[in-house]
A and B are shown apart, each in its own frame.
Chain A
Amino acid sequence: AQSVTQLGSHVSVSEGALVLLRCNYSSSVPPYLFWYVQYPNQGLQLLLKYTSAATLVKGINGFEAEFKKSETSFHLTKPSAHMSDAAEYFCAVSDTGNDMRFGAGTRLTVKP
């Protein structure tokens, strides 16, 4: 069964610094990979997704992620953090779009 591991339950960066949130996946077939963001007491908002097209995926709010099959990774990056980026980020994997499995989440804190 597919699964994802998010390295680091909490990441803290300064405003303007690079954001790097790590995600490694396990899947027996070419997966669909997703990054979602969750603000307190809200649902999940899709940041970006990988569906076997370009390996570098650009999402909303300046985020992007690169699919690296050899490393089974799908890390999320943003060149310059904003205070509004502070939230919980979830990586998810799916074989079919139905069986989505989420990582444990990474809480991003942005310091002024």
Chain B
Amino acid sequence: GAVVSQHPSWVICKSGTSVKIECRSLDFQATTMFWYRQFPKQSLMLMATSNEGSKATYEQGVEKDKFLINHASLTLSTLTVTSAHPEDSSFYICSAKKGLFHDTQYFGPGTRLTVL
């Protein structure tokens, strides 16, 4: 199997606060994890790629200081939305690859963030 979990599944926070989202690979070691953002009725947009033990690589236009990514172990990556604002409200989805040269990404169930 290749199961990826996310926690929490939904979160509501006040503007200006920070929110942490966890992404875990449950039955495999993930050398590479990815974070996507999806607006309602739109496609997924890659935010960043993270490799275990190294700094994340962010896509153009994604603020590194706002979206902090930590890939501390082979089974866990976290996304922290700092000083969240209503425009950060979105569906955040993570994915993971089994190996460096593996071709398939396995996706988590997503986290819906609402910033009031």
Contact = CB atoms under 8 A, between A and B. Distances in A.
Interface in A85-99: 90, 94, 97-99
A42 interface: yes
B107 A97 contact: no
B104 to A, nearest CB: 6
Given A42-B109, A43-B110, A98 B49 contact: yes
A102 interface: yes
B105 to A, nearest CB: 6
B40 to A, nearest CB: 11
A99 B60 CA distance: 13
A94 B104 CA distance: 9
B42 interface: yes
Interface in B18-36: 32, 34
A83 interface: no
A47 to B, nearest CB: 12
A49 B104 contact: yes
Nearest to A98: B49
A44 interface: yes
B103 A41 contact: no
Interface residues of A, number: 22
B107 A45 contact: yes
Contacts of A100: 34, 46, 105
B43 interface: yes
A93 to B, nearest CB: 11
8 contacts: A42-B110, A43-B4, A44-B107, A46-B104, A94-B103, A97-B104, A102-B44, A104-B43
Interface of B: 4, 6, 32, 34, 42-44, 46, 49, 91, 93, 95, 97, 101-110, 112
Given A90-B43, A98-B34, 8 more contacts: A36-B107, A43-B6, A43-B108, A46-B106, A49-B103, A97-B102, A98-B49, A98-B97
